[in-house]
């Protein structure tokens, strides 16, 4: 039979995606990254076709001895690099990790305090997302726009007055570490728990450039495994609290996942090993690059948020682009020249401005993983300036392609010859 047209189309779309996003674009989406070829090789394995409901060595299926081994090893690696006492990798996303934790900590009708939506709370922290689905009331903590952080004194008072079941820190627009210690102390004084969502910054935590919230009193930390931590798309949670760990573990399965997408496990393990050996260099270069890009943008007339605070301590910067037509317009203009960012609410926007907010959010973690340094951040800032000034997009795109073509190999990984190392092929 001839190859059907629709099959050809599927192959073509996938090829085009690979070519465009892997080789032709400067990706500055703060929630994305690339796996190393090594992690991708183990991702494409027989694990992707199997089931292993339950926990290692306590499964509801036979045939899981290597799943047990890789899952246990990955949990140990995560505990080592975080560091933490207990980890669970079965949440298939950060949202699912949050859902399991929130469900254990509160019942429908209970209250949770979260960061302000415009200040970056993830949708899963809110009444619009997981918290709403669980029937838990979302109450926003005051935010100090000048400090680009939760207003500690007012938030502590609010915790003492409202006595929520839990407080959530961590955000999707996340420039500076949240005040974990102060809010953990306040939460514990009213028998509440502190949940810290490190989805965006987990790679910075394991790279030791961002505080480990567990060391500052957080009861449980959730994360994504594919943002600054450059692994497969997925979620995890870590804690030092044995009782909480047992309760959440009993809840993830069977309430929130059945199978936990097993091909994530070896790829997460490879990434954890990469972070163990290269994480510090990678994470500190990310922060240097973010600051360098912010500085270069300001020098070119952009209004980068939090200049008086040094712009950022994370992989992200936020830019107010109202003067250039707003976040939606600027994000489209940049996409047109192959620079990929997302429009983003800034803390002083109204929530209704979500479709055309003042800002764009920029993350430098993926380009850092491809080896870009401060000099390339300056080049990117220049290309962005030319774009918003309305210079010839085709000419700018040509320069983007040229810059990107010099950074096609993932760094901060090991050079392993996957083809010749074993008689059994690694890639089936
Ligand atoms: N909404 C994603 C982001 O921060 O881009 C995370 O799920």
CATH number assigned to the domain comprising residue 190: 3.40.640.10
Assess contact for 39 and 369: CB atoms under 8 A: no
Q: Before 83, cis peptide (omega within 30)? A: yes
Q: Which atom of ligand 1 is nearest to the CA of 95?
A: 7
The verdict on 97 and 238 lying in the same domain is yes
For the chain (428 residues), the mean pLDDT of every run of 10, in chain order, is 95 97 98 96 95 96 97 98 98 98 98 93 94 97 96 98 98 98 98 98 98 98 98 98 98 97 98 98 98 98 98 98 98 98 95 93 98 98 98 98 98 84 56
pLDDT of residue 421: 56
Q: Measured from the CB, is residue 124 less than 6 Å from ligand 1?
A: no
User: Is there a single domain that holds both residue 314 and residue 188?
Assistant: no
| Residue 222 near ligand 1, beta carbon < 6 Å | no
Instruction: Check whether residue 214 and residue 323 sit in a common domain.
Output: no
Report helix angle 180-189 to 152-162, nearest 10. 20
Q: Is 353 annotated as a binding residue?
A: no
Asked whether residue 14 is domain-assigned, the answer is: no
Distance CA 293, CA 299 (A): 10
Q: Which of 118, 139, 138 is nearest to 127 (CA)?
A: 138
Task: Please tell me the distance from the alpha carbon of residue 413 to that of residue 36, in angstroms, as a whole number.
Answer: 7
User: Last residue of a domain, which of 242, 273, 304?
Assistant: 273
**Is 122 annotated as belonging to a binding site?**
yes
| Ligand 1 contact, 149 CB (< 6 A) | no
| 87 in contact with ligand 1, CB cutoff 6 A | no
What's the structural domain count of the chain?
2
Residue ID of nearest Cα to ligand 1 atom 3: 31
From the CA of 30, give the closest atom in ligand 1: 5
| 82 Cβ inside 6 Å of ligand 1 | no
Q: Please name the residue whose Cα sits nearest to atom 4 of ligand 1.
A: 172
Measured in Å, residue 221 CA sits from the centre of ligand 1 at: 17
Residues 140 and 285 placed together within one structural domain of the fold:
no
Residue 5 C-alpha to ligand 1 middle, in angstroms? Answer: 35
Residue 12 included in any domain: no
The rounded Å distance from CA 172 to ligand 1 centre is: 6
Determine whether the shortest distance from the Cβ of 31 to ligand 1 is under 6 A. Answer: yes
CA torsion, ordered 308, 310, 313, 317, to nearest 10 deg: 80
Q: Which residues contact 264 (CB under 8 A, 6 or more apart)?
A: 43, 89, 92, 225, 231, 232, 233, 234
Last residue of a domain, one of 247, 273, 299: 273
Same domain, 324 and 245: no
Substitution site in 93, 130, 199, 343 for ligand 1 pocket (most atoms within 8 Å of beta carbon): 199
Residue range of the domain that includes 366: 27-38+278-404
Q: Based on the domain organization, do 257 and 336 belong to the same domain?
A: no
One domain, residues 252 and 330: no
Atom of ligand 1 minimally distant from the CA of 200 = 4
Task: Using most ligand atoms within 8 A of CB, pick from 94, 96, 115, 122 the residue to mutate for ligand 1.
Answer: 122
| Backbone CA torsion sign across 334, 93, 267, 241 | positive
Give 12: exposed, middle or buried? Use CB within 10 Å, 0-12, 13-18, 19+: exposed
123 is in an annotated binding site: yes
CA of 30 to the centre of ligand 1 (A): 8
Residue 3 lies in a domain: no
Q: What is the pLDDT of residue 424?
A: 56
Q: Which atom of ligand 1 is nearest to the CA of 199?
A: 6
What pLDDT does 416 receive? 84
Tell how far the Cα of 358 is from the centroid of ligand 1, in angstroms: 18
* 286 in the same domain as 157: no
Q: Are residues 112 and 233 in the same domain?
A: yes
pLDDT at 418: 74
- Do 73 and 205 lie in one domain? The reply is yes
- Please indicate whether residue 126, judged by its CB atom, sits closer than 6 Å to ligand 1: no
Distance CA 62, CA 369 (A): 39
> Within a domain: residue 285?
yes
CB-CB neighbours of 251 under 10 Å? 17
Q: Is 172 in the pocket of ligand 1 (CB under 6 A)?
A: yes
Q: Does 119 belong to an annotated binding site?
A: no
Query: Within this chain, do residues 204 and 258 fall inside the same structural domain, yes or no?
Result: yes
Single residue among 273, 307, 330 that ends a domain in this structure: 273
- Number of other CB atoms surrounding residue 228 within 10 Å: 36
Q: For residue 122, how far is its CA from the centre of ligand 1 (angstroms)?
A: 7
Structure token pair of residue 375: 């000099």
Q: Using CA positions, which residue lies closest to atom 2 of ligand 1?
A: 31
């Amino acid at each position: 039979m001839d190859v059907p047209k629709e099959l050809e189309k599927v192959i073509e779309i996938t090829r085009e995606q690979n070519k465009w996003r892997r080789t032709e674009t400067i990706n500055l989406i703060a929630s994305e990254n690339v796996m190393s070829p090594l992690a991708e090789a183990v991702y494409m394995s027989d694990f992707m076709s199997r089931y292993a409901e339950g926990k290692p060595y306590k499964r509801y299926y036979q045939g899981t001895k290597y799943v047990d081994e890789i899952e246990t090893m990955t949990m140990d690696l995560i505990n080592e690099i975080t560091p933490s006492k207990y980890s669970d990798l079965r949440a298939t996303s950060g949202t699912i990790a949050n859902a399991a934790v929130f469900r254990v900590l509160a019942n429908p009708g209970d209250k949770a305090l979260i960061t302000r939506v415009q200040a970056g709370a993830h949708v899963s922290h809110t009444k619009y997302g997981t918290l709403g689905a669980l029937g838990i009331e979302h109450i926003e903590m005051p935010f100090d726009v000048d400090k680009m952080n939760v207003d500690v004194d007012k938030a502590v008072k609010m915790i003492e007055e409202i006595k929520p079941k839990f407080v959530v820190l961590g955000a999707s627009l996340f420039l500076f570490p949240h005040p974990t210690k102060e809010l953990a102390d306040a939460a514990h004084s009213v028998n509440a728990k502190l949940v810290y969502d490190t989805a965006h910054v987990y790679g910075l935590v394991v790279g030791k450039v961002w505080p480990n919230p567990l060391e500052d009193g957080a009861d449980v930390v959730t994360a994504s495994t594919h943002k600054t931590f450059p692994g497969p798309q997925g979620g995890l949670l870590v804690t030092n609290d044995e009782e909480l760990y047992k309760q959440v573990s009993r809840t993830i399965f069977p309430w929130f996942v059945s199978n936990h997408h097993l091909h994530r496990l070896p790829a997460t393990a490879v990434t954890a090993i990469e972070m163990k050996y290269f994480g510090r260099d990678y994470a500190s270069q990310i922060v240097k690059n973010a600051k360098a890009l912010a500085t270069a943008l300001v020098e070119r007339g952009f209004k980068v948020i939090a200049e008086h605070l040094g712009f950022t301590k994370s992989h992200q910067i936020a830019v107010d682009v109202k003067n250039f037509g707003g976040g939606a317009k600027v994000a489209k203009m940049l996409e047109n020249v192959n620079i990929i960012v997302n429009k983003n609410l800034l803390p002083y926007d109204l929530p209704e401005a979500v479709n055309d907010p003042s800002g764009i959010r920029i993350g430098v973690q993926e380009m850092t993983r491809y080896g870009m340094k401060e000099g390339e951040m300056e080049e990117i800032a220049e290309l962005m300036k030319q774009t918003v000034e309305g210079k010839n997009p085709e000419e700018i795109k040509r320069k983007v392609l040229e810059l990107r073509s010099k950074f096609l190999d993932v760094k901060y990984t090991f050079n392993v010859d996957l083809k010749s190392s074993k008689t059994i092929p690694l890639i089936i």
